[in-house]
Amino acid sequence: MLQSINKYKLYLYIFFFIFLTSIFNLNIFEHYQNKFNLKKININGLNYNEKKIVMFELSNFKNSNIFNLSKEDVLGKLNKFNFLEKIYVQKIMPSSININLSKTPILGKTIINGVEYFIGKNGKLINSSEIFEINEAPQVFGEFEIEDFLNLYDFLNNHHLEVGNVKKYFFFKNKRWDLLFSHGLMLKLPSKKVDDALKIYNKLLNNDSLTNVKVVDLRIANQIILTNNNE
């Protein structure tokens, strides 16, 4: 009888030992798991309002396991913001991520279906609701493709023309551009051989041939038509 009681106590001790050990191990596991939950997201390169809307987009990642969070997940959220050009994501163990962002330069602005958009150098249209700083960007008129505008912008830069002096761009259906400069001069470019036309325009600038000229018309090959201010 005594031997039976001793066995009972032994089994009871073993049961409590296993039970307490299991609770202890569970607590260690939970503590270890929580240690690697995402607690902090550091965003660099944006102003307060931009950082606020980006942080809101990333808020669902908070408290998720940092090992299960991939850079692709973060990029998928950030790529929604067209004003971003470069994105760098770095995990900082055990519970934070650093996100370094750079904004694309604004090259122009346009109206599409009554909504104002800014044109980014990254080739994206940026809804004006995502822009919180004042941008004195030139107005772009017409039904153009972003690629058309970027090609023109590259041509102007390649010829060292000051794009900052362009006040308005006008795009026409035959795929040509007119440029209105801030000093009032209008440059009419052809639909083809734009590079050649800009070379001619540069020569006119360098020779001071545009004094008192309000329109430089280079639409016709091998012809330069100048209109004076008094005409």
Instruction: Determine the pLDDT at residue 133.
Output: 79
For residue 38, the model assigns a pLDDT of 83
pLDDT, one tens digit for every residue, the chain (231 residues): 434 445 555 445 454 445 445 544 445 444 445 677 888 999 999 999 999 999 999 988 888 888 888 888 899 999 999 999 999 999 888 888 999 999 999 999 999 999 999 999 999 999 998 888 777 899 999 999 999 999 999 999 999 888 889 999 999 999 999 999 988 899 999 999 999 999 999 988 887 777 888 999 999 988 888 888 665
Query: Token digits for 192?
Result: 């083809």
pLDDT at 63: 80
pLDDT tens digits, 16-56: 445 445 544 445 444 445 677 888 999 999 999 999 999 99
**DSSP character at residue 113:** T
Tokens, residue 70: 């991939």
Q: How far apart are the C-alpha atoms of 180 and 138, rounded to whole Å?
A: 10
The confidence score (pLDDT) of residue 2 equals 39
Which pLDDT score is estimated for 113? 93
Which ranges of the chain would DSSP assign to H, the alpha helix?
Answer: 2-35, 48-58, 71-78, 146-158, 194-206
Nearest-angstrom CA–CA distance, 127 and 129: 5
pTM of the entire predicted model? 0.79
Give me the pLDDT at residue 23, please: 47
Tokens of 50: 């931009």
pLDDT at residue number 136: 84
Separation CA 216–CA 210 (nearest Å): 8
pLDDT number for residue 166:
95
Please say whether the beta carbons of 108 and 139 come within 8 A. Answer: yes
CA geometry: angle 222, 158, 175, nearest 5 deg: 55
Q: What is the pLDDT of residue 212?
A: 84
